[in-house]
């Protein structure tokens, strides 16, 4: 298959059928719903299941130039809310788009801005038109609508853009949830109408909280719109892991089998393995980068807090099998010292370790799905996390 971009001749204004296209390669043969696939995008392929590091305001925090390439990150995520406030989408557009601005020529996804309006800005007000809010940076009054969100995202120019939706708190009444879902569906139709299809592919978002009835109804409304991909929103927002797994198990099969399924804002390694087992293809989360800056390492043996005094004199590497600098070049004692001293190198090294671990976990899942052994892989990963970190020999 040629690249969709190349198929489109100059002056040819017909809508390309799919700038982003999902290719289902394998379905797990070991008793789960795990899928091995490939997402074709204008900036190259993405092997799924995939984890997308988050580059909130145009850089993946704690990661140096070229480190994402060394880590072989295939796709990263940018936050529309942050970028529209600073430096502003027009400036990014004038600088050649987000890919060029941040010097990243692999695939990219932007969210709609909605989630951050609801979580970060003050005095937000949701109406049929959209969300009025004040910037958390300078108090400016702004309005984000489905049309504006699509306009901003298309100006940024990510390969995948997300529909503008509301992710209502699970504490809201059922009446409110129904009203919100109906509005999110109307917003989706407005997004589709505003969508120029020139270089960005729009994904729809299914909400509905933990209520199977609402999920099913909303999935039917959203999937009735033919889009290159679909996401599940409204998970990992405070519910227990078990509730989320149950929800994902119910919701993932509501999404089309021949399209990529993206579980937004998830999650821990455990969450990701459980969700892949339930049929999810794409993930994003600030966890590996944020935890790294705070001294937490994700490893084969679970989470290790390098701030803990037990590492102060431990000459061992973080993980003797890991091949990233945090483990190959330094001891736990040094990592502990850096974190305790607030040296940026500590956060850089643990961020690298965490992204490398996530990369390794995703690659392991992809290989095991293809080999028909995902269930074994999953059990093995969980046994490692359950075993926990080994104490230093004394």
- Taking CB under 8 A as the criterion, the residue among 72, 220, 329, 376 binding its own copies is 329
CB of 224 to its own copies, least distance (A): 39
Question: Which of 218, 311 has the CB closer to its own copies?
Answer: 311
Query: Which residues within the stretch 169-228 sit at the binding site for its own copies (CB under 8 A)?
Result: none
Site string for its own copies, 278-317 (x = CB under 8 A): ----------------------------------xx-x--
Q: Is 284 assigned a catalytic role?
A: yes
Going from the C-alpha of 382 to that of each of 123, 336, 387, the distances in angstroms are: 43, 26, 8
Task: Please spell the DSSP secondary structure of 314-381, one letter per residue.
Answer: --S-S-TT--SHHHHT--HHHHHHHHHHT-HHHHHHHHHHHHHHHHHHHHHHHHHHHTT-HHHHHHHH
Q: Is 139 in the site for its own copies (CB under 8 A)?
A: no
Catalytic-role residue among 28, 271, 281, 284: 284
Give the integer Cα–Cα distance in Å for 324 and 327: 6
- CB distance 285 to 304 below 8 Å: no
Helix (H) or strand (E) holding 284: strand 282-284
Calculate the CA 388 to chain-centre distance.
26
- What are the φ/ψ torsions at residue 262 (nearest 5 degrees)? -120, 120
- CB distance 93 to 82 below 8 Å: no
Burial-class residue 137 by CB neighbours within 10 Å (0-12, 13-18, 19+): exposed
Site string for its own copies, 255-274 (x = CB under 8 A): --------------------
State the number of binding residues for its own copies (CB under 8 A): 41
CB of 39 to its own copies, least distance (A): 25
Question: Which of 63, 276 has the CB closer to its own copies?
Answer: 63
Query: Which residues within the stretch 49-108 sit at the binding site for its own copies (CB under 8 A)?
Result: 57-59, 61-67, 86-87, 91, 94-96, 101-103
Catalytic-role residue among 28, 67, 111, 271: 111
Q: Is 226 assigned a catalytic role?
A: no
Q: Is 325 in the site for its own copies (CB under 8 A)?
A: yes
Question: Which of 142, 227 has the CB closer to its own copies?
Answer: 142
Cis upstream peptide for 267 (omega within 30°): yes
Kindly list the catalytic residues. Answer: 111, 284
Q: Which residues bind its own copies (CB under 8 A)?
A: 57-59, 61-67, 86-87, 91, 94-96, 101-103, 312-313, 315, 325, 329-331, 333-334, 336-338, 340-341, 343-349, 352
């Amino acid at each position: 298959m040629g690249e969709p971009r190349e198929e489109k001749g100059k002056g040819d204004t017909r809508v390309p059928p799919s700038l982003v296209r999902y290719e289902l390669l394998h379905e797990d043969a070991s008793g789960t719903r795990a899928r091995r696939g490939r997402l074709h995008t204008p900036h190259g392929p993405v092997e799924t299941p995939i984890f997308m590091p988050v580059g909130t305001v145009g850089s993946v925090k704690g990661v140096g130039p070229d480190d994402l390439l060394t880590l072989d990150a295939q796709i990263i995520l940018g936050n529309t809310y942050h970028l529209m406030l600073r430096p502003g989408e027009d400036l990014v557009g004038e600088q050649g788009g987000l890919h060029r601005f941040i010097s990243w020529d692999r695939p990219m996804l932007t969210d709609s801005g909605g989630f951050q309006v609801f979580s970060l800005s003050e005095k937000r007000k949701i109406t049929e038109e959209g969300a009025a809010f004040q910037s958390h940076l300078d108090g400016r009054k702004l309005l984000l609508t489905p049309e504006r969100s699509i306009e901003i995202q298309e100006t940024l120019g990510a390969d995948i853009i997300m529909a503008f939706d509301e992710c209502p708190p699970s504490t809201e009444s059922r009446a409110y949830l129904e009203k919100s879902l109906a509005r999110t569906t109307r917003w989706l139709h407005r997004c589709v109408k505003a969508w120029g299809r020139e270089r960005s592919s729009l994904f729809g978002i299914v909400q509905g909280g933990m209520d199977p009835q609402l999920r099913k109804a909303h999935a039917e409304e959203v999937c009735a719109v033919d889009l290159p991909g679909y996401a599940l929103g409204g998970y990992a927002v405070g519910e227990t892991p078990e509730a989320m797994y149950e929800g994902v198990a119910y919701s993932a099969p509501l999404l089309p089998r021949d399209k990529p399924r993206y579980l937004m804002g998830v999650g821990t390694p455990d969450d990701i393995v459980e969700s892949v087992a339930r049929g999810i293809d794409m993930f994003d989360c600030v966890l590996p980068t944020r935890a790294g800056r705070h001294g937490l390492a994700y490893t084969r043996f679970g989470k290790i807090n390098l701030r803990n005094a037990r590492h102060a004199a431990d000459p061992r590497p973080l993980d003797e099998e890991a091949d990233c600098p945090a483990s190959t070049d330094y001891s736990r004692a040094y990592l502990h010292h850096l974190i305790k001293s607030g040296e940026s190198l500590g956060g850089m090294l643990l961020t690298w370790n965490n992204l490398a671990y996530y990369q390794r976990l995703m690659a392991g899942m992809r290989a095991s799905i293809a080999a028909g052994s995902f269930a074994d892989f999953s059990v093995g990963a969980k046994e490692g996390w359950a075993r926990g970190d080994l104490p230093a020999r004394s």
